[in-house]
Amino acid sequence: MSEVAHCSYCGAVLARKNDRTTAQLLAVTVAAGIVFVIANVTSILAIEFGGVRADTGVWTAALSLDHGWMFWAALVLAATMFLVPLLQIILLLWVLIFASVARRAPAYKYALVLLHLLRPWSMSEVFLLGSLVVIVKLSSWVHVEAGEGIWALGGLAILLAILSRYDSRDWWDLVEQARP
Amino acid sequence: MSNRPTAAALGLIACHICGLVSPRTATLLRGRCARCGSRVQVRTSRSTERTLAWLLAGMILYIPANLLPVMSIDGIQGRQEATIFSGVSSFWHAGAWGIAALIFIASVAVPTTKFIALGHMLWSVRRGALTGQRERTQLYRVVEFIGHWSMLDVAVVGLTSALLQFKALGTAEPRAGIACFCGVVVATMIAALSFDPRLIWDGEASNG
């Protein structure tokens, strides 16, 4: 059963009972790290035409936007689809590895504040949906192969969604239970 | 007026970063949260001004984002310059209504909803509206939640121009419209993050 506290003014969720243990959260984060690596080293989409193969992932998609002054759109794409999810996973691993042995991670305050600020800018699931749109878009024209990366990206989107059910306060409570 | 307690009436204040609730006077004197060290203020300073500035920036960028092509495709049928709207309508005419609807929602409905919703919130805070606070706060959360889905078109253009690089088949290149559209998404997200939803309830506090 889920227990949820709502604001009596606006109905927002104030707090939610979270049953997962530190070990389970660490496992989810490690899994997210693994699928993140897979999603970024394998191809997400590929086209084969006339014996030539072109494939793409997060990096190549961002680099293809890098045209003159448009480089900053490439930066935004690389940041929201690659750098921010990567930082989220690293910061969570950092605090959770220490929390799992009942310790507070060094500099955990900075890690948790940064995690809170990064959260709106994490967009792996948008990239996943974009890949699916491209498959449909080009399929009337040329055969588009979904690579291993797209499954990894799907896994990453689900795992990050599980972790983002925990808000800033939950992470602070979890970390500060441990001795300094 | 309601008799529900407010944090102010109880002498408490919450940190917006880590959620710690602490004694109001001491925290405000120190100006920083005792737990995470972030700035704690009764209301975020110049929240409405900053929201308005980013909102206007987003609205202005939305004009070139729609007028300029977002992608150019050189294919067998010659060169096609696609705009956001032509992308939606080509999916629609090809019978891919689901995809047409999805791109329409992400590229047209979401940004315009954000413009209208944030504009309405700023306007009602300015005139100190005393009705619909609950609905407006919920609207704010919807705007926050849908914000990043507009990046969909940027991802689609990036992926397509990375994939479609065949001389015999066709080549795709991004165009200025997509960078403007990316600017719209970033500006409206910062606008939403700059807005302090506590302002919505201030009319009640000062009249209650």
- Domain containing B19 equals 1-42
Contact B163/A54, CB-based, under 8 Å?
yes
Q: Which of A11, A49, A121 sits opposite B138 (nearest CB)?
A: A11
Q: Do B3 and B100 reside in the same domain of the chain?
A: no
pLDDT of residue A155: 97
State the total domains in chain B: 2
pLDDT on residue B3 = 67
Contact (CB, 8 A) for B184 and B151: no
B194 pLDDT band (50/70/90 cuts)?
very high
CB-based contact A40:A147 (threshold 8 Å): no
CB contact under 8 A, A134 and B147: no
Cα–Cα distance between B16 and B40 in angstroms, integer? Answer: 7
DSSP B107-127: IIIHHHHHHHHHHHHHHHHHT
CB contact under 8 A, A121 and B148: yes
User: DSSP secondary structure string, B78-95?
Assistant: EEEEE-HHHHHHHHHHTT
CA distances from A129 to A94, A144, B103, B154 (A): 29, 15, 10, 12
DSSP state of B5: -
A48: closest CA of chain B, how far (Å): 10
**Are residues B73 and B146 part of one domain?**
yes
The pLDDT assigned to B204 comes to 58
Integer Cα distance of A95 and B201 in angstroms: 36
- Measured between CA atoms, the residue of chain B closest to residue A136 is B99
A138 touches chain B (CB under 8 A): yes
CB contact under 8 A, B151 and A77: yes
CB B50 within 8 A of CB B118: no
Contact A65 B37 (CB under 8 A): no
Whether B138 and B197 map to the same domain: the answer is yes
Distance between CA atoms of residues B82 and B87, nearest Å: 6
Residues of B in contact with A172 (CB under 8 A): 18-20, 35-36
| Among candidates A65, A113, A168 on the partner chain, residue whose Cβ is nearest the Cβ of B158 | A65
Bridge partners, residue A144, by sequence = A47
pLDDT tens-digit series, residues B137-176: 999 999 998 988 999 999 999 999 999 888 788 889 999 9
Residues of B in contact with A61 (CB under 8 A): 155, 158-159, 161-162
- Contact list in B for residue A80 (CB cut-off 8 A) is 148, 151
Global confidence as pTM: 0.92
Are B90 and B179 members of one domain? yes
Residue B99's contacts (CB-CB under 8 Å, 6 or more residues apart) are: A133, A136, A137, B91
Q: Touching check for B82 and chain A: CB below 8 Å?
A: no
pLDDT digits (tens, 9 = 90+) for A85-94: 999 999 999 9
**Neighbour-count burial for B165-181, b at 16+ CB within 10 Å, e otherwise:** bbeebbebbbbbbbbbb
Map out the domains of chain A as residue ranges: 20-176
In the predicted structure, residue B208 carries a pLDDT above the cut 50: no
Give chain B positions within 8 Å (CB) of A121. Answer: 148, 189
Q: Hey, of B159, B173, B199, which one would you mutate to test binding to chain A, going by the most A CBs within 10 A of its CB?
A: B159
- Please report, for the domain that includes residue B167, its CATH number: 1.20.140
Amino acid at A128: L
**What average pLDDT does the segment A105-126 reach?**
95
Buried b (16+ CB within 10 A) or exposed e, B9-26: eeeebbbbbbbbebebee
Please tell me whether residues B66 and B134 are part of one structural domain. yes
Q: How far apart are CA A172 and CA A30, in angstroms?
A: 20
Give residue A132's pLDDT band: very low, low, confident or very high (50, 70, 90): very high
* DSSP string across B13-30: EE-TTT--EEEHHHHHHH
CB B205 within 8 A of CB B193: no
What average pLDDT does the segment B50-79 reach?
Answer: 93
ipTM of the complex: 0.92
Backbone angles phi, psi at A45, to 5 degrees: -130, 150
**Residue in chain A lying closest to B21 (CA):** A169
